[in-house]
A and B are shown apart, each in its own frame.
Chain A
């Protein structure tokens, strides 16, 4: 069975990429068939950590549309500007202009235009890149073109490409974006397990709870890693208590370590460059636990840590007056 593990955090900069790059590297060295996926399409970083400077495959992802106004037909009625949900259409120098950076391509304006003066054009919303890491396993990386929307679709496509390369026993390690929006949701959809990373600060704790809520919507068994734990032992304890209450598998804690940014600056994984560094030792302990508990012991781990009480997503709906069953 192909095993999909997603690393997420809610808050940016807490160590997702450090953990996912180390996990993929470790599993590969242990002899597993591994594919690393960089699903942080806004700001992909895994290729920098692995020291990849050239892509073997680089393709445009073209599943995006933007709207274009045909000025020969436009009668300046302004309906498009009024109904655009993103306020992407503005009156500039006596013409209605669509801001192509903000336009989401929903094409509602083209449907609403009484003169059918708006058409759609397909554009590249981003790129899918694939390269072999110096350690023998492939990295599939997403890059969203600046300003584009719907990175969720790009993330899904990148995961599909990884699955095409996968064998029956492959482990796919997915480095997700920060946040909890469509990019992260697309990363989590269809995954088997989530490993959440937090640092001991109020902001990171708050974001951890939010992304954890989303993993509960998806009924994912969830592990926890606390990074830079020694910066604030009090908050580390608070987060560990939360993890215990929520029945998350605490996979380990990592001390603050100056060598982490140093290794990133040298474009090499920390555990390769400074294997005796405190963070390396902690990371290796964590990834070996992941191997034991999540990979080798999958069925038991899944049964133990899948959410006990389902917390399904429930939309908050306001019905229009005078309508029957919606």
Chain B
């Protein structure tokens, strides 16, 4: 029975990845854990764990090829193309612009004479790496979008599927910041979402957006307040109540977390007795009992 938990949070830079990585290592003490880094535009979990990415697999999306002898030059393919990836030449022949193609296949289905054949294009990669931690080996699945590619969702999907296939017990997902649909894809089917925020007006504004998203997806959400202590939290508590959520943990601002972030080893490994490490272990225990 695999269970998915997502670490998310609307605002960038609140500490999502740091929390996901430390939580994954802490959880490893109690359960079997696979960590999935679905922040495919800017993946960082492997850096925080101090490991290299291994076992590369390409993420491919469909790229149409025109069988010109069959083409009747009706131009329908160019018309249905949502991203403007098909232009029509002087001879009325369709011409594909690979970078703009999202691989949706509308042209393939629309062509009245089946003159479109499926090729593929590589837009990113997934990796399966292992980190040796004090609680054993942690499997990390990472999705990486190729620079210059626009289309994030297929890479998130591929990494998500690869992670689901190897997860035996708990799958911990690190989503990207924001609330766009690739975050929704990363969050889908989570039993629990942990929304990371900081007690500032910007953090609060973005927290509301992520709570709205998890509510629409029907996912129970707990809030983690990071860098607690820099601001008053009254308004934050109001927002949390409004979405029937609760603040499960408050992590104080700390220099040691920043240093561990820079050194490339999770805090719970470098300073297991630090008060913040103890917060992670308590959180891991709570989660492992609840799910």
Q: Do chains A and B touch in the complex (CB under 8 A)?
A: yes
Complexed CA–CA distance, A317 and B117 (Å) = 14
Chain B contributes a number of interface residues (CB within 8 A of A) equal to 77
Complexed CA–CA distance, A118 and B103 (Å) = 20
Binds B, one of A28-36, A70-78, A160-168, A202-210: A202-210
Minimal beta-carbon separation of A123 from chain B (angstroms): 13
Contact A182 B151 (CB under 8 A): yes
Given the known A-B contacts A11-B12, A12-B13, are A265 and B231 also in contact in the complex, defined by CB atoms under 8 Å?
yes
- Interface status of A232 (Cβ within 8 A of chain B): yes
- Which residues on the B side are within 8 Å of A10 (C-beta)? 41-42
Binds B, one of A145-153, A243-251, A270-278, A294-302: A145-153
Among the interface residues A83, A203, A264, which one has the most CB atoms of the partner chain B within 10 A? A203
- Interface status of B209 (Cβ within 8 A of chain A): yes
- Which residues on the A side are within 8 Å of B117 (C-beta)? 320, 323
- Which residues on the B side are within 8 Å of A17 (C-beta)? 202
- Interface status of A122 (Cβ within 8 A of chain B): no
| Number of A-B residue pairs having CB atoms within 8 Å of each other in the complex | 224
Contact A48 B150 (CB under 8 A): no
Contact A323 B65 (CB under 8 A): yes
Contact B98 A181 (CB under 8 A): no
Contact B42 A214 (CB under 8 A): no
- Which residues on the A side are within 8 Å of B181 (C-beta)? 86, 101-102, 104, 147-149
Q: Which of A147, A232, A316 contacts B262 (CB 8 A)?
A: A232
Given the known A-B contacts A206-B47, A315-B98, are A180 and B145 also in contact in the complex, defined by CB atoms under 8 Å?
yes
Contact residues on A (Cβ < 8 Å of other chain), bracket: 35 or more
Given the known A-B contacts A106-B106, A149-B180, are A326 and B65 also in contact in the complex, defined by CB atoms under 8 Å?
yes
- Interface status of B113 (Cβ within 8 A of chain A): no
- Interface status of B157 (Cβ within 8 A of chain A): yes
B99-131 interface mask toward A, CB cutoff 8 Å, 1 = contact, 0 = none?
A: 100111110011000000111111000000000
- Interface status of B17 (Cβ within 8 A of chain A): yes
- Interface status of B44 (Cβ within 8 A of chain A): yes
B65-93 interface mask toward A, CB cutoff 8 Å, 1 = contact, 0 = none?
A: 11110000000000010100000000000
Binds A, one of B23-31, B211-219, B239-247: B211-219
Minimal beta-carbon separation of A277 from chain B (angstroms): 16
- Interface status of B152 (Cβ within 8 A of chain A): yes
- Which residues on the A side are within 8 Å of B41 (C-beta)? 10, 178-181, 184, 210
Minimal beta-carbon separation of A148 from chain B (angstroms): 6
CB-CB nearest in chain A for B111: A111
- Interface status of A13 (Cβ within 8 A of chain B): yes
- Which residues on the B side are within 8 Å of A121 (C-beta)? none
- Interface status of B287 (Cβ within 8 A of chain A): no
Minimal beta-carbon separation of A141 from chain B (angstroms): 12
- Which residues on the A side are within 8 Å of B154 (C-beta)? 85
- Interface status of B279 (Cβ within 8 A of chain A): no
CB-CB nearest in chain B for A316: B122
Complexed CA–CA distance, A144 and B177 (Å) = 13
- Which residues on the B side are within 8 Å of A320 (C-beta)? 65, 117-119
Complexed CA–CA distance, A59 and B213 (Å) = 21
Contact A202 B264 (CB under 8 A): yes
Complexed CA–CA distance, A78 and B198 (Å) = 44
- Which residues on the B side are within 8 Å of A182 (C-beta)? 150-152
Q: Which of A43, A111, A313 contacts B205 (CB 8 A)?
A: A43
Complexed CA–CA distance, A41 and B179 (Å) = 9
Contact A13 B216 (CB under 8 A): no
- Which residues on the A side are within 8 Å of B231 (C-beta)? 261, 265
- Interface status of B139 (Cβ within 8 A of chain A): no
Given the known A-B contacts A13-B11, A181-B41, are A104 and B104 also in contact in the complex, defined by CB atoms under 8 Å?
yes
Contact A146 B206 (CB under 8 A): no
Given the known A-B contacts A13-B11, A326-B119, are A207 and B44 also in contact in the complex, defined by CB atoms under 8 Å?
yes
- Interface status of B261 (Cβ within 8 A of chain A): yes
Complexed CA–CA distance, A106 and B201 (Å) = 36
Complexed CA–CA distance, A185 and B148 (Å) = 8
- Interface status of B200 (Cβ within 8 A of chain A): yes
- Which residues on the A side are within 8 Å of B261 (C-beta)? 201, 203
Q: Which of A151, A213, A315, A324 contacts B99 (CB 8 A)?
A: A315
- Which residues on the A side are within 8 Å of B230 (C-beta)? 261, 265
Given the known A-B contacts A202-B264, A210-B42, A323-B119, are A102 and B201 also in contact in the complex, defined by CB atoms under 8 Å?
no
- Interface status of A194 (Cβ within 8 A of chain B): no
Complexed CA–CA distance, A83 and B62 (Å) = 11
- Interface status of A137 (Cβ within 8 A of chain B): no
- Interface status of A14 (Cβ within 8 A of chain B): yes
Q: Which of A181, A203, A317 contacts B47 (CB 8 A)?
A: A203
16 examples of A-B residue contacts, CB within 8 angstroms: A45-B206, A83-B109, A85-B62, A86-B157, A107-B82, A146-B212, A146-B213, A146-B216, A147-B180, A148-B181, A177-B178, A179-B176, A180-B42, A313-B99, A315-B121, A323-B67
Interface residues of B, Cβ cutoff 8 Å to A = 10-14, 17, 41-42, 44, 47-48, 58, 60-63, 65-68, 80, 82, 96, 98-99, 102-106, 109-110, 117-122, 145-154, 157, 176-185, 188, 200-202, 205-206, 209-210, 212-213, 216-217, 230-231, 258, 261-262, 264
